[in-house]
């Protein structure tokens, strides 16, 4: 039964690492779709389209690994794994962005676990994450994966010890994330269908009014 649920969850979505040729257009278009609040959360301040275009081009040419969450063939979420030589303390820096249309469906957790697996294959032992002080969702996600965040200069920064994760744990965590995403999607679909039926005046009476 679980395999059936997982297959259903992935029917219209997938997660994979982008090739270098894909990085610029797909990451750029995804970041450009972020609303004002999401841009502020991602870049710790509002950034205009020209900045995002330059940023995506930089990522495509500096060795950054981009892990993308696709829904119906469109990138709706991304995890960035930046090379350690770009960090003052030689730790790989990570960052995440999720479009509003797929939030509260476990996408951030799915991307986080995939990124950890990729980082481990590269031999990394620790990762650094920095997020804006107002980005409560990312702070909670980082803490969930073991980051000890410290607030300073208007930002929360911390490190994640990758030696605490093994492949079995990551595999089980992946299944858990997919199941959570599936439950959220099914709940949304039920609510949407119920709304349409009520608008048409055909909702079953046992659903009641809300």
Instruction: Note the pLDDT tens digit of each residue in 3-38.
Output: 444 444 455 789 999 998 999 999 999 999 999 999
- Residue 181 scores a pLDDT above 60: no
176: CATH: 3.40.630.30
Q: Is residue 206, in this structure, part of any structural domain at all? A: no
Q: Is residue 150, in this structure, part of any structural domain at all? A: yes
Q: Is residue 30, in this structure, part of any structural domain at all? A: yes
pLDDT interval class at 210 (50, 70, 90): very low
- Residue 108 scores a pLDDT above 70: yes
- Of residues 41, 1, 62, 68, the one with CA closest to residue 137: 41
Q: What residues make up the domain containing 192?
A: 2-200
CA gap 135, 114 in Å, rounded: 21
pTM for this entry: 0.73
Q: Is residue 124, in this structure, part of any structural domain at all? A: yes
By residue count, the chain amounts to 210
Structure tokens at 105: 């469906």
- Residue 168 scores a pLDDT above 50: no
29 three-class SS: helix
Average pLDDT value over all residues in the chain: 82
Q: Is residue 205, in this structure, part of any structural domain at all? A: no
pLDDT given at position 136: 87
Q: Which residues fall within 8 angstroms of residue 186, CB to CB, at 6 or more apart?
A: none
Q: Is residue 208, in this structure, part of any structural domain at all? A: no
- How many domains, in total, are found in the chain? 1
């Amino acid at each position: 039964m679980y395999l059936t649920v997982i297959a259903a969850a992935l029917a219209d979505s997938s997660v994979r690492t982008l090739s270098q040729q894909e990085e610029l257009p797909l990451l750029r278009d995804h970041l450009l779709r972020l609303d004002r609040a999401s841009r502020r959360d991602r870049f710790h301040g509002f950034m205009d389209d020209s900045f995002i275009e330059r940023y995506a081009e930089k990522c495509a040419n500096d060795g950054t690994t981009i892990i993308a969450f696709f829904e119906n063939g469109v990138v709706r979420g991304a995890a960035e794994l930046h090379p350690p030589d770009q960090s003052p303390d030689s730790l790989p820096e990570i960052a995440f962005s999720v479009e509003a249309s797929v939030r509260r469906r476990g996408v951030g957790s799915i991307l986080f676990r995939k990124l950890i697996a990729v980082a481990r294959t590269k031999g990394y032992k620790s990762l650094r994450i920095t997020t804006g002080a107002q980005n409560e969702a990312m702070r909670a996600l980082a803490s969930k994966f073991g980051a000890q965040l410290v607030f300073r200069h208007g930002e929360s920064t911390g490190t994640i010890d990758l030696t605490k994760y093994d492949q079995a744990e990551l595999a089980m965590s992946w299944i858990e994330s997919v199941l959570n995403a599936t439950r959220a999607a099914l709940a949304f679909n039920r609510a949407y269908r119920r709304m349409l039926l009520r608008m048409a005046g055909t909702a079953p009476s046992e659903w009641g009014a809300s």
